[in-house]
Amino acid sequence: MDKLIDIRDVRHTFTTRTGPLPVLDGLDVSVDEGGFTAVVGPSGCGKSTLTRLIAGLMIPDAGEVRVHGAPVTGPRSNVGMAFQNPVLLEWRTILQNVLLPLEIVPTTLPKREQEARARRLLSLVGLEGFEDKRPSELSGGMRQRASLCRALIHTPEVLILDEPFGALDAFTREDLWQIMHEVKRAEPFTGVLITHDLREAIFLADRVVVLSGRPARTQYVLDVPDTGPRDLDHLYTPEAAEMLNLLRHQIEIAQGRAPAEPAAGDPSPGDTATETDGAPAPPPGSAARGMH
Ligand SMILES: Nc1ncnc2c1ncn2[C@@H]1O[C@H](COP(=O)(O)OP(=O)(O)OP(=O)(O)O)[C@@H](O)[C@H]1O
């Protein structure tokens, strides 16, 4: 499969009032066309900065950010974004909110077809009948579903989801995970999901990238095996438990609460022991790569 997003050895330091703040230091992330990559890591490590790189909202000090093989040199209009706070405009109906990107990004789609597409997306996420409501008339989960339709209306090349379900209660969140699978089947997209929820990461994504603490580098990559259509029961299988254990261990390393593992080929510190002793092994069918 072709890489749609290819980020290599990216380094970046922000200038702040209190001095330089190194945020990224060796970031490698690639997302295949049609793939869905989740990015996890300690709070404040640089996950949202990564989404800004993909959207072309900032250019890194060093390294490469390519989309479809071309270097990203400025803001990209063909990116859809959804955030934890959906920020829908109260003076517009839900349908008008979903149509908003088409007023900003040039489109050749005739008006009637734009509206038909917005209605189709709303129906796909279960919001049929709510097209003429105002955002305040919807629950938090419904607003987030509308925000997802808005992010998809212009058929973006890349869909970026920055903790979109973080503020929702557990049941609503799980509903939305299932809706996401339905949306991806009906409207295939290439996705990048930023999340703090490891269950969400393995349920939605086909690849999970673990970032180290700040300045972030790519610490670990887990390819989630494709087990066909996923339902929530999938999260309670031994394979899922193993993946979650492994990712949790990697997060502990990223937070500095567990020792880092040696790179392949590094001399072992003891006669027989290795630093990976005690670390969970990758579950069968998954491919895991440590990055050093
Ligand atoms: N434009 C900026 N100027 C200066 N510092 C910034 C800027 N943008 C982000 N930062 C800082 O860079 C660091 C990484 O921010 P970022 O939002 O990417 O982290 P994050 O991993 O998404 O955080 P969280 O998990 O808390 O959402 C933070 O310390 C943040 O304060």
Domains (range + CATH), the chain = 3-76+160-290 (3.40.50.300), 77-156 (no CATH)
Residue 213 Cβ contacting ligand 1 at under 6 Å: no
Q: Whose CA is nearest to atom 31 of ligand 1?
A: 44
Q: How far is Cα 98 from Cα 115, in angstroms, rounded to an integer?
A: 9
Q: Is the peptide bond before 22 cis (omega within 30 degrees of 0)?
A: no
Residue 80 Cβ contacting ligand 1 at under 6 Å: no
Confidence check: pLDDT of 277 > 50: no
pLDDT of residue 269: 44
Q: How far is Cα 149 from Cα 62, in angstroms, rounded to an integer?
A: 34
The two tokens of residue 201 are 């990461």
Residue 84 Cβ contacting ligand 1 at under 6 Å: no
Q: How far is Cα 49 from Cα 208, in angstroms, rounded to an integer?
A: 17
d(CA 185, ligand 1 centre) in Å: 33
pTM, whole model, 2 decimals? 0.88
Atom nearest to 43 CA in ligand 1? 25
d(CA 49, ligand 1 centre) in Å: 6
Residue 108 Cβ contacting ligand 1 at under 6 Å: no
Does ipTM come in above 0.90? yes
Contact (CB, 8 A) for 263 and 229: no
Confidence check: pLDDT of 99 > 70: yes
Q: How far is Cα 208 from Cα 197, in angstroms, rounded to an integer?
A: 11
Confidence check: pLDDT of 280 > 80: no
Find the angle CA(240)-CA(219)-CA(242) to the nearest 5 degrees: 15
Element (H, E) at 192: strand 190-194
Place of tokens 């299932």: 178
Residue 46 Cβ contacting ligand 1 at under 6 Å: yes
Burial of 180: CB neighbours in 10 Å, binned 0-12, 13-18, 19+: buried
Strand partners, 65: 7
In which band, very low, low, confident or very high, does the pLDDT at 246 lie, cut at 50, 70 and 90? very high
In which band, very low, low, confident or very high, does the pLDDT at 265 lie, cut at 50, 70 and 90? low
11, 13, 14: which to mutate for ligand 1, most atoms within 8 A of CB?
A: 14
Q: How far is Cα 279 from Cα 281, in angstroms, rounded to an integer?
A: 6
Q: Tell me, what amino acid is at 205? A: A
pLDDT of residue 138: 96
Read off the pLDDT of residues 188-233 as tens digits, 9 standing for 90 and up: 999 999 999 999 999 999 999 999 999 999 999 999 988 777 788 8
Q: How far is Cα 260 from Cα 262, in angstroms, rounded to an integer?
A: 7
Q: Tell me, what amino acid is at 292? A: H
Residue 205 Cβ contacting ligand 1 at under 6 Å: no
Atom nearest to 196 CA in ligand 1? 25
Residues, the chain: 292
In which band, very low, low, confident or very high, does the pLDDT at 262 lie, cut at 50, 70 and 90? low
Confidence check: pLDDT of 271 > 70: no
